[in-house]
Structure 1
Amino acid sequence: MFKDGLKDAAARVDAGFAEVFARYPDLPVIQGMAYATNGGKRLRAYLVMESARIHGIENALMPALAIEAIHAYSLVHDDLPSMDDDDLRRGLPTVHKKWDEGTAVLVGDALQTLGFELVLSPECHADPAVRSDLALTLARAAGAQGMVLGQALDIAAETADQPLTLDEIIALQNGKTGALIRWSAEAGARLAQADTAPLTAYADALGLAFQIADDILDVTGDEAAMGKAVGKDADRGKATFVSLLGLDGAKSRAENLVEQACEALSPYGNKAQGLIDAARFVIARQT
């Protein structure tokens, strides 16, 4: 069920982006936008679509495209020499390597604004109040209360006198990784103007499990399979869930968080099986 759903979400997102970019002139920045949004697991889009489905909404493409655009923007900027200075992303040269730094900055800027354009479009939802709510909460999730805050804390940690504590890493990752996952999972309830609380609890546990799995893969993963460099956190002496909890401890914490995420979905009964499978996928993935 989950693998088919994830594959379907990816196909719908790919087709959606192709339609969006076909409206634009053929310029390097547009080519870069299409390049940056190509590939990936599409987990965030899946969470949007699946949370919408359990609320009886079958068409959630616009917010699914929006979160993938925002996620892609964050990766393009994160890869820049002034940030993580990465050469590979998804097994291909990063945007600033394929083009140049200036183009990469503009690609990220354009993808960020595209995300808000998509959720504010009448195609997203007939009710302007729903579109406004999606845009407001996306801004909070992506900005200085969410993802950007987490990234800023991550940068500050690299020059700090002491490694981060476990609580500090959790706070950092709740912004850097968790905020966009939370918005994705809540999106279906927002589209239906329903209670977001069960999905918020689910996403909070899921986002943290996702990051722990990333930390584990940075130690145990294969660079060719992952399509990006591994072992960078250890090389930089950064405190991670693995460095603080140990490999077995990190795996155990991630498994417990997945169980918490699944329990949070109990109000939805069998309708939530796809989201339950998504949570289990997060810690079983190899990339």
Structure 2
Amino acid sequence: MNKLASCFLRHGAPSAQSFKSYHVQRSPSLHSLQRRSVSMPRSRTADHAATAAKATIAPLVNTQGADVTVVSGTSFDFERYLSAKARAVHDALDLALQGLPCPEVLSESMRYSVLAGGKRLRPALAIAACELVGGPAAAVVPVACAVEMIHTASLIHDDMPYMDDDALRRGQPSNHVAFGEPTALLAGDALLALAFEHVARGSAGAGVPADRALRAVLELGSAAGVGGIAAGQAADMASEGAPSGSTARLVEAAAVSGAVVGGAGDGEVERVRRYAHFLGLLLQVVDDVLDVTATSEQLGKTAGKDAASGKTTYPRLMGLEGARAYMGELLAKAEAELDGFDAARAAPLRHLARFMAYRQH
């Protein structure tokens, strides 16, 4: 096992106390649970001899406490799980962005945004979906990294003056503020291209069959372009009648791609897709609600931007309480899609949905 692989085992128990072990049961009301948050890792020095394509992930169930703890088949330590995956994805991204054959300022700009932190929810979703279907550990690492590259590219472009014009992202100056608009534009473009190169190279290196890698590329490409982020941003700028759903599409693609490279059958893929569709909508509704209710300090970006720009959001369409009720409906629908899977393997996805619903930033 290489050093990057072993970091999944070493970092199983962070000191933060933002989550306790939950019990897998019927989802309670959104207002009946205390909302909590998980602190994400900052940049760390990785082993230069390792490669992102060969990174592996710890097994889902490890009763010795390495990554996931299952007690009597019902209790799941989500804090440890999410923190371990976030740290390992961060290290894999750090490795993937080292030694890029491009001007130093472009490389710095790309690393600045990708390694700035964030909750790493989309990569964790891809990993959990692969584990759900019993996929090999190494198979999902390139997909997890690619999902975060695509997501970060969209944030860089979204923040630019001719789009949402936001000077703050993840608690620090937006990429175009730190590096200038031309470099930021190129950094977003480069990350988008690198994401697909990384899936292709990494999947081959991890022994993922070519047909599975191709299906993952198709899912991610659709989510990044006319079937997702690009189309959604255009709709947002036009303030067309309903929320665009671009956030939901990338979430769906992350989960489906993880399941596909993990070897899921067609029926399993479709159940994962439905779960992730509801989860992606939930994430968008929560983002819209937090834009109204949270502060800029809590969000790490400028609060109230959606309302100020007249963007069509769920609170605007449904009212704040209506949007919160819809969050509860989406959470219940997402969890229902997991009922046919093994309970222990489904636990990360079940609690990931709850985390997305109850988060405060």
Q: TM-score range by the shorter chain?
A: over 0.9
Between structures 1 and 2, the one with greater helix share: 1
Is residue 218 of structure 2 the alignment partner of residue 218 of structure 1?
no
Q: Is the 8 A contact 1:10 1:42 kept in 2?
A: yes
Q: Scaled by the length of structure 2, what TM-score is found?
A: 0.74
Q: What TM-score results when the alignment is normalised by the length of structure 1?
A: 0.92
Paired position in structure 1 for 2:279? 206
1:92 partner letter:
Q
- The Cα shift of 1:267 comes to 1.7
* 1:279 paired residue number: 353
Displacement of 1:193 in angstroms is 4.2
Q: 1:111 aligns with which of 178, 191, 205?
A: 191
Write the deviation string for residues 146-192 of structure 1: whole angstroms up to 9, x where unpaired: 111111111111xx6xxx2xxx32xx12xx10111001111232111
* 1:42 counterpart letter in structure 2: R
User: 2:160, 2:181 within 8 Å by CA — same for their partners in 1?
Assistant: yes
Which of 177, 181, 187 is equivalent to 1:97?
177
Q: Determine if the alignment matches structure 1 residue 30 to structure 2 residue 101.
A: no
Partners of 2:258 and 2:189 in 1: how far apart?
26
Partners in 2 of 1:136 and 1:185 — Cα distance?
Answer: 13
1:75 aligns with 2:155: yes
**Residues 227-236 or 62-71, more deviating:** 227-236
Alignment of 1:1-287 (within 5 A): 1-24=77-100, 27-38=104-115, 39-57=117-135, 58-59=137-138, 60-121=140-201, 122-157=204-239, 164=241, 168-169=242-243, 172-173=244-245, 176-191=246-261, 192-195=263-266, 196-270=269-343, 271-287=345-361
Q: Distance in 2 between matches of 1:50 and 1:9?
A: 9
Q: 1:97-122, CA deviations, whole angstroms, 9 ceiling, x for partnerless residues?
A: 00110100110011001110111111
Contact 1:37–1:72 under 8 Å retained in 2:
yes
CA distance in 2, matches of 1:186, 1:239: 28
- Shift in CA distance, 32/124, structure 1 to aligned 2, threshold 3 Å: farther
CA contact (8 A) 2:133 2:264 kept: no
Cα distance between partner residues in 1 of 2:215 and 2:282: 27
* 2:195 maps to amino acid: G
| Separation of aligned partners in 2, 1:198 and 1:141 | 18
Measure the CA separation in 1 of the matches of 2:123 and 2:310: 33
Aligned length: 275
CA RMSD after TM alignment: 1.4
The Cα shift of 1:13 comes to 1.2
Aligned-pair identity (%): 37
Distance 1:124 1:82 in 2: 40
What's the secondary structure of 2:342's corresponding residue? helix
Unmatched segments (≥5 aa) in structure 1: none
Counterpart code for 2:218: L
Contact in 2 for aligned 1:202/1:261 (Cα 8 Å): yes
Quote the offset at 1:125 in angstroms: 4.0
Q: Counterparts of 2:309 and 2:177 in 1: how far apart (Å)?
A: 22
Task: Tell me if structure 1 keeps the 8 A contact 2:106–2:183.
Answer: yes
- Structure label with greater radius of gyration: 2
**CA 1:256/1:34 → structure 2, altered by over 3 Å: closer, same or farther?**
same
Tell me the distance in 2 between the aligned counterparts of 1:243 and 1:193: 39
CA contact (8 A) 1:178 1:208 kept: yes
Contact in 1 for aligned 2:315/2:323 (Cα 8 Å): yes
